[in-house]
A and B are shown apart, each in its own frame.
Chain A
Amino acid sequence: GNSVTQMEGPVTLSEEAFLTINCTYTATGYPSLFWYVQYPGEGLQLLLKATKADDKGSNKGFEATYRKETTSFHLEKGSVQVSDSAVYFCALRYNFNKFYFGSGTKLNVKP
Chain B
Amino acid sequence: EAQVTQNPRYLITVTGKKLTVTCSQNMNHEYMSWYRQDPGLGLRQIYYSMNVEVTDKGDVPEGYKVSRKEKRNFPLILESPSPNQTSLYFCASSQLGTSGINEQFFGPGTRLTVL
Tell me how far the C-beta of A24 lies from the nearest C-beta in chain B, rounded to whole angstroms.
14
Say whether A43 faces chain B, with CB atoms less than 8 Å apart. Answer: yes
B99 in contact with A102 (CB, 8 Å): no
Say whether A42 faces chain B, with CB atoms less than 8 Å apart. Answer: yes
Q: Chain A contact residues: over half helix, strand or loop, or mixed?
A: strand
Cβ–Cβ < 8 Å partners of A104 in chain B: 42
CB 8 Å contact bits of A16-53 with B (1 = contact, 0 = none): 00000000000000001000000001111110010100
Cβ–Cβ < 8 Å partners of A99 in chain B: 33, 35, 43, 45, 58, 101, 104
Expressed in whole angstroms, the Cα–Cα distance for A44 and B4 within the complex equals 12
Tally A residues with Cβ within 8 Å of B.
23
Q: Which residues of B contact A (CB under 8 A)?
A: 4, 31, 33, 35, 40-45, 48, 50, 56, 58-59, 90, 92, 99-104, 106-109
